[in-house]
Amino acid sequence: MDRIRLRGGSPLNGTIPISGAKNAALPLMIASLLTDETLTLENVPRLRDVHQLFHILSNHGVDWSVEGKRAGQDGMSGQTVHLCARAIVDTTAPYELVSTMRASFWVIGPLVARMGVARVSLPGGCAIGTRPVDFFIEGLQKLGAEIEIDQGYAIAKAPNGLRGAHIAFPGVSVGATHTLMMAASLAKGETVLSNAAREPEIVDLAQCLTAMGAKIEGAGTSEIVIQGVDRLSGARHRVLPDRIETGTYAMAVAMTGGDVTLDHARADLLSAPLAILEQAGAEITATNRGIRVRRNGAGITAVDVSTEPFPGFPTDLQAQFMALMTRAKGTSHITETIFENRFMHVQELARLGAKIHLDGQVATVEGVESLRGAPVMATDLRASVSLVIAGLAAEGETTINRVYHLDRGFERLEDKLGRCGADIERISG
């Protein structure tokens, strides 16, 4: 099993290219199930989750291909993917595939909308909370699907097609918003999604569906209105840059010091965390290339943070920010409001010398003068990269085990950091 070894103490200087967003690419790939024509996606990241979704879509009969490298591209350039679900040959998404990635459950919406039936295993994925599928099921039922749970599978049937409805989500759910927006695109009549997620990835999917012929208004607000159409066509769409990867590398620069340009990054996608980083002492500047992040020798200031749905501070940056606060001057309080079990990185940060006290969903972080390298273990995707950030500033050597979590969401992380001066390497086996 691969490990990452790094030695802390080196500032980061240079350029890091930001990849396409995983959280946008996955629902965009799933949208290929809605049409019998080819959907072409540009700037798709090379990630374990993307590769796994290829297998899941192939099981349904989706043909896919990846364009080869083009002139002027390097290994950091996003890939262009062609997906065509000309004939869906299987409407079952089996446990052995879905259990590896929660987002694969989202195929239930396009499958029942286009085929009138879907049998999808209840999902697995990171152990950071229950993340139930109730919102998905209740929403599809309001669109007219009959759903039963049998032996760990959600079985949805709509032999006469779906029909528009008003769906008010009891809580904000990005996955349910993605899924029901896709399903409603082929429903008869108008669908209104109230209390919808507002994340940029929702807007990206809506723009792609619109290019495919869907009629969608209000994406990016809490109310999305979809007028169903009889069929969708193929389209070409470019995946937006990954705001979580952007925030992660910005925090790495704030932790180590230095001066890094995050190529292709968009400041408008993560205004809240960038504002927090400025309070902590980083200098953030939007440029025509992306975002420039700098920190001089003044140190890091403690800042309190509470995770919130977009446009607030994202839960997917909570672990990384906690790592940054371990070296801050003063005491910070980090409140996790989205997932009930997303503090598993605390014990591993403590192995590096961090002082963190947990009280329910609040972590109190007392900044320390220095961290010391140690062997640590990744517990989930975002927790694993928080250990990288801490290790970049720790004295001595840090070894991070179970880094397959990193490969789910960060494309060639050790290469990108290494190009900016980090002493980091992957150890195979």
Q: Which of 84, 126, 208, 420 is catalytic?
A: 126
Which two structure tokens, joined as six digits, stand for 153?
Answer: 């599978």
How distant is the alpha carbon of residue 358 from its chain centre?
Answer: 25
Q: 102 a known binding residue? A: yes
Which is it for strands 92-93 and 117-121: parallel, antiparallel or unpaired? parallel
What is the 3 state secondary structure string of 38-72?
A: EEEEEEECCCHHHHHHHHHHHHHCCEEEECCCCCC
Cβ 2 vs Cβ 426: under 8 Å: yes
Does 338 carry a binding-site annotation? Answer: yes
Nearest-angstrom CA–CA distance, 134 and 303: 35
* Helical (H) or strand (E) element with 348: helix 345-351
| Interior angle at CA 118, CA 217 and CA 57, nearest 5 | 80
Q: Are 337 and 313 in contact (CB under 8 A)?
A: no
- Identify whether 84 is a catalytic site residue: no
Check the annotation: does 160 bind a ligand.
no
Distances (CA, A) of 273 to 136, 164, 247, 263, 314: 29, 37, 7, 18, 8
Residue 416 in marked binding region: no
User: Which residue in 259, 255, 246 sits closest to 398, CA to CA?
Assistant: 255
Contact 24, 424 (CB under 8 A): no
Known catalytic residues are 126
State the binding site for UDP-N-acetyl-alpha-D-glucosamine.
102, 316, 338
State the binding site.
22-23, 102, 316, 338
